Amino acid sequence: MEIISISELHDILEDKKDNVLVLDVRSSAEYNSGHIDSAENTPHEEVADIAEDLKQYDTVYVHCKMGGRAKLASQTLEDLGLDNIVCVGKGGMEAWTENGWPTV
C-alpha cells in the first residue's frame, strides 16, 4: 500500500491532474464541518459499497482525520482488487487545518 503524508497530498492537489479523486472517509458530520475542496465523502465502513465506482479513476487519495481510518479503508479497497489507491496515512484533516490550508 502506498502511503503519503497530508503535505504530499496538498502538493499534489496544487497541480491536480484530471481523473483523480480525493476520498474523505471520515463521518458525514466531520466532512460537513469542513473538507478539502472537491473531496467526496464515504465513511470508511462503507467504502466497499463504492469500490466498483472507484475503478474509473486513475488515482484515489484516501484520507481521514489523522490517518487510521484512511489505512483501514485503503486496505479494504486493495483487498477488493483496486490498484489505484493511495493512502494519506501520515496526518489528515487535523494537520490540513493546522497548516491553514483552505476547506469548504
Q: Is the pLDDT of residue 16 over 80?
A: no
pLDDT bucket at 39, cuts 50 / 70 / 90? very high
CATH classification code of 2-98: 3.40.250.10
Q: What are phi and psi of 85, to 5 degrees?
A: -95, 130
Output the CA torsion sign for 95, 96, 101, 104.
Answer: negative
Are 29 and 40 a contacting pair, CB within 8 Å? no
Span 48-71, mean pLDDT?
A: 98
Per residue in 69-85, pLDDT tens? 999 999 999 999 999 99
Q: Is the pLDDT of residue 26 over 90?
A: yes
Distance CA 8, CA 43 (A): 22
Greatest CA separation for the chain: 35
